Amino acid sequence: MIFFTITGSLTAAIVYDRRERRRVQQKWCDLVAHLSKETLPIEQTRRKLTIFLSAPPGDGLRIAREHFKEYVKPILVAAALDYTVIEGRREGDVRAALAERIRKHRRKAGEPSSVVEEMSNEDIIADARQKIGVVEEPGPKGDLVIGRHTWKEYIRGLHEGWLGPLDPPSPPDAPVKGPSVPVEGSETPADGTPAEENTEKKEEAEKKDDKPAKPSGPTPAYVSPAEYSSRSLPPTLPQSLDSSVPIPFPHLLGFLNTPIRLYRYLSRRHLADEIGREVAGLVLASSSRPYHDGSFSSDSELSGAMVDAGASTLSSPDDMMPSSSAKYEQQTVLEKEESEWHKSVHKRDEENPDKEREWIDDIVLDPRIASRMQRSLLSADEEARSQRITEGKEYILGEERPAPVSFWQRMWTKYGYGEDEETIRMKPIIGNLDGADGE
């Protein structure tokens, strides 16, 4: 009896959570599904978002991909939006990729640089589209950042791309080795075998040098956080950056944390609702606000200060200097996730303790960049519409909710010989091919 009680309770909790999670995700999918019905001119491509994800601390990239496919991708598919994914397998990959992407944009905009870029597949496709007159759909873009660790790299990449130089810094000087002194008493064969071996080794080393060496890690940073205040803004920096949305990525490891992990496994519906709201806000792009500095005690003070300081921030951003006492919202986003990271992540390199670590170093912000960042939100009207969709009073914008289908009819359609209305409507109607007499 005890066995059946425990097993039945656990099964019921899992089934209930999965059902509610599907309902929650369907609500957010229905909220954005009307975008997929909109028609585009033949010379336009779909609006594209950028997804940033990286392997969680202490684990592999597959976990991050599954998190994206389970909670984020269904809403993007429902809205029929295109997206680009920037992945990172190691610490610093996302930072390096984003910084290089911004530097490439600055070079194309006309900023002088001595770097000769190679044509990538994306450049070839973009040139082909430009020649035939294909442009991207006008509208706001956005960046979707998954996890606290990716968010810290995202902030570093933004600052490095916009404040750093376009040319890579000169590598540090290698230590000069002195000439080798032969040891007295060492015997050398008279046939010259050591000289031949040295020649063969040199030839093998030259052959190895001809092959392109694989990078051992991400590209080193072009600028350090301590140099942000001394760097001037590039002329191509826009007054407002693309909206960004940090997505929670709870990832807890360890056997002793099994009760917490079990609770999270049985309450994924709450995480799906939170992520769905953030993703829907970015997809709809109906509302956005600047990130605040955390110095206001209430939302009313924050909104009033945003209105007063909005014009001055955009008009003279170069006059603003970093303040060590300021606490920006970007620094506290998803901060609770750091306490759940594996303990091995917090250990610094004993040989090089001063080495920069994007994951464990504090987030350093330059006010000129921080004031240009925007956070996408779900507007009050869209929030109210999502509530009406949950209550069954509304459906996809411009459509009526279809009639409910009973459980047995769904099972007969899925596993039996039944057909749904959509399949019946798509089937061709063929008349009597044998004639009126049936011959």
At residue 410, the pLDDT reads 80
Flag the least confident range among 175-189, 319-333, 348-362. Answer: 175-189
**CA angle in degrees (0–180, nearest 5) for 31-144-215:** 150
Flag the least confident range among 100-109, 151-160, 283-292, 405-414. Answer: 405-414
Dihedral sign for Cα atoms in the order 218, 219, 224, 229: negative
Q: Please compute the mean of the pLDDT values over residues 267-293 and round it to a whole number.
A: 93
At residue 118, the pLDDT reads 78
At residue 172, the pLDDT reads 60
| Residue 191, in any domain of the structure | no
Flag the least confident range among 154-158, 183-187, 309-313, 432-436. Answer: 309-313
At residue 201, the pLDDT reads 63
The yes-or-no verdict on residue 225 having pLDDT over 60 is yes
Cα dihedral: 385, 74, 406, 413 (round 10): 150
Flag the least confident range among 145-159, 160-174, 285-299, 396-410. Answer: 285-299
Q: Please compute the mean of the pLDDT values over residues 16-44 and round it to a whole number.
A: 93
Q: Please compute the mean of the pLDDT values over residues 276-296 and round it to a whole number.
A: 86
H or E segment to which residue 24 belongs: helix 2-32
Q: 355-364: per-residue pLDDT in tens?
A: 778 888 889 9
The yes-or-no verdict on residue 228 having pLDDT over 50 is yes
The yes-or-no verdict on residue 211 having pLDDT over 80 is no
pTM of the predicted structure, to 2 decimals: 0.79
| Residue 193, in any domain of the structure | no
- Give the Å distances, CA to CA, from 56 to 24, 65, 195, 340: 25, 10, 51, 11
The yes-or-no verdict on residue 85 having pLDDT over 70 is yes
At residue 199, the pLDDT reads 64
pLDDT band at 321 (very low <50, low <70, confident <90, very high): very low
- Number of domains within the chain: 1
Residue 156: CB atoms within 10 A of its CB come to 24
| Residue 181, in any domain of the structure | no
| Residue 31, in any domain of the structure | yes
pLDDT band at 318 (very low <50, low <70, confident <90, very high): very low
| Residue 410, in any domain of the structure | no
> Quick one: tokens of 339?
């306490």
| Residue 352, in any domain of the structure | yes
| Residue 197, in any domain of the structure | no
pLDDT over 70, % of the chain = 79
The yes-or-no verdict on residue 297 having pLDDT over 60 is no
| Residue 318, in any domain of the structure | yes
* Domain coverage including residue 338: 2-112+125-168+216-389
- DSSP letter at 139 equals S
At residue 414, the pLDDT reads 79
The yes-or-no verdict on residue 303 having pLDDT over 80 is no
Greater confidence (206 vs 91) lies with 91
